[in-house]
């Protein structure tokens, strides 16, 4: 099948590349000329394990192409819209880019083109796109919702071996075409769920908000563990063995971040209010997460009796999670800004996210932050180590090395990476989230 993908961000680039990998002919389209040139050279603008290799292989096989123009749309049976839908100031999803993409695509399509909304969009967006396209073209077309369920850091695996594929449609022609498109990915029995466009839109938001709720739930439990003396790691094992609960997204930490959960939680809450109702559990999820971002910072304040002036804190990790260079809504941003506002300085090391982090922290804080290329070098002369991202290389460090580099033996472990007994054996003052220390 010939496919065009509008947008070469995280979702568009991964989807387009993976479609090419399973044999489809794909053109990824973006208005950013510099990004398109980089992609033609097999260089991904985002960090995602395995993506560069797939890019190179499929460019060489001529199944994957890139363009700043819309010429490929005329010959494409499916056109995927994978543009950003960022949060507005009121929490609503900004659909400006999506509507512009839909209008541009509508001018170029051939009869029976399938316009696939891959972007995460509020319930009811499909009908708005349908009306917009109908006003722009006289060609026959079909609108499909196909939400993505990719996890940053394992997106290739998630796409190639999906738990499920969700297709929102209004007619059998589109449903059959989407079944054909995804057939190579579901041969092992993973289901394709066909449903209405409205249900597909709701499914995406419901899934992300439920996962966000699991994170806030375990963080809430971790706080109570801190108070009563229980150990959240033991509690987690005790509840996650129940198949009705499971262990995914039940790891305490500094709160969720990234491009999806914060935005999608806000958008679903906004949609509920538009329809005159409230989602009280989702509201609580967001409230808990907002507090959790500074939970470890509060422990720092308490340890230093409220005075952080002149202190230096060395951060391991600034990405919102491991295996990505994405720093959007990263808890590290909130921790660093709070530290600097209290008169502290920050050093940090992150395997891939450093450049992106320095771009988003802003000039106000930039002069108080120093990046290092080695996890141990950033500790030199610092008053404390703070773990913010669960990169694998941080899990089993040389504690003698840490001890020799730090000015004072203090660790604030916002990811519960270290074994309490081992850290204490080395004489560190140790703070974690919900662990019995």
Q: What is the pLDDT of residues 167-223, one digit of tens each?
A: 999 999 999 999 999 999 998 888 999 999 999 999 999 999 999 999 999 999 999
Find where tokens 């679903």 sit: 268
Residues with catalytic function: 260
Q: Are 412 and 395 in contact (CB under 8 A)?
A: no
pLDDT for the residue 28: 98
pTM: 0.93
Q: Which of 151, 147, 144 is nearest to 165 (CA)?
A: 147
Nearest Cα to Cα of residue 50 among 146, 149, 159: 159
What domains can you pick out in the chain, each with its CATH number?
A: 2-194 (3.40.50.720), 205-291 (1.10.1040.10), 293-431 (3.40.50.720)
CA distances from 48 to 212, 328, 410 (A): 22, 15, 33
Instruction: Give the pLDDT of residue 187.
Output: 86
252-301 residue pLDDT tens: 999 999 989 999 999 999 999 999 999 999 999 999 999 999 999 999 99
Give the pLDDT confidence score for residue 200 in this predicted structure.
97
Q: Which residues of the chain have pLDDT under 50?
A: none
43: left (phi over 0), alpha (psi -120 to 50) or beta: beta
Buried b (16+ CB within 10 A) or exposed e, 25-62: bbbbbbeeeebbeebeebebbbbbeebeebbeebbeee
What pLDDT, on a 0 to 100 scale, did the predictor assign at position 437? Answer: 87
Give φ, ψ of 29 to 5 degrees.
-120, 135
| C-alpha radius of gyration, the chain, whole number | 23
- Determine contact, residues 288/216, Cβ cutoff 8 Å: yes
pLDDT of residue 379: 98
Q: How far is residue 432's CA from residue 261's CA, in Å, rounded to a whole number?
A: 24
Could you say which DSSP state residue 394 is in? G
Alpha-helical regions (H) of 183-260? 197-228, 232-240
């Amino acid at each position: 099948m010939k496919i065009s993908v509008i947008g070469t961000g995280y979702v568009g680039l991964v989807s387009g590349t993976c479609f090419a990998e399973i044999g489809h002919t794909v053109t990824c389209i973006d208005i950013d000329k510099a990004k398109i040139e980089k992609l033609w050279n097999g260089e991904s603008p985002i960090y995602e394990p395995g993506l560069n290799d797939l890019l190179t292989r499929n460019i060489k096989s001529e199944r994957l192409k890139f363009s700043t123009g819309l010429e490929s749309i005329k010959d494409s049976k499916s056109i995927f819209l994978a543009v950003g839908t960022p949060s507005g100031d009121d929490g609503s999803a900004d659909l400006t880019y999506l509507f512009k993409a839909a209008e541009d695509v509508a001018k170029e399509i051939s009869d029976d083109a399938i316009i696939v909304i891959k972007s995460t969009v509020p319930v009811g967006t499909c009908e708005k796109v349908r009306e917009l396209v109908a006003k722009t073209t006289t060609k026959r077309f079909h609108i499909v919702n196909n939400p993505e369920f990719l996890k940053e850091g394992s997106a290739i695996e998630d796409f190639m071996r999906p738990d499920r594929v969700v297709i929102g449609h209004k007619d059998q022609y589109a449903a059959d075409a989407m079944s054909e498109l995804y057939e190579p990915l579901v041969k092992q029995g993973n289901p394709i769920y066909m449903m209405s466009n409205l249900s597909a839109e709701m499914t995406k938001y419901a899934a992300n908000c439920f996962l966000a709720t699991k994170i806030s739930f375990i963080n809430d439990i971790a706080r109570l563990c801190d108070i009563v003396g229980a150990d959240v790691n033991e509690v987690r094992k005790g509840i996650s063995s129940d198949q009705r609960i499971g262990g995914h997204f039940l790891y305490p930490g500094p709160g969720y971040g990234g491009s999806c959960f914060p935005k999608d939680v806000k958008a679903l809450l906004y949609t509920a209010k538009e329809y005159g109702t409230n989602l009280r559990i989702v509201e609580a999820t967001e409230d808990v997460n907002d507090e959790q971002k500074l939970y470890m910072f509060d422990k720092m304040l308490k340890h230093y009796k409220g005075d952080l002036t002149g202190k230096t804190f060395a951060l391991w990790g600034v990405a919102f999670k491991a295996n990505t260079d994405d720093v959007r809504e990263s808890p590290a941003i909130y921790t660093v800004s709070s530290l600097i506002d209290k008169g502290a300085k920050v050093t940090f090391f992150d395997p891939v996210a450093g450049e992106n982090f320095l771009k988003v922290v802003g000039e106000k804080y930039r002069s108080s932050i120093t990046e290092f290329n080695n996890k141990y070098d950033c500790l030199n002369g610092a008053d404390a180590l703070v773990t913010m991202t669960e990169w694998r290389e941080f899990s089993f460090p040389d504690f003698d090395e840490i001890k020799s580099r730090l000015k004072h033996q203090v660790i604030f472990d916002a990811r519960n990476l270290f074994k309490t007994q081992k850290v204490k054996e080395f004489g560190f003052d140790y703070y974690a989230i919900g662990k019995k220390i």
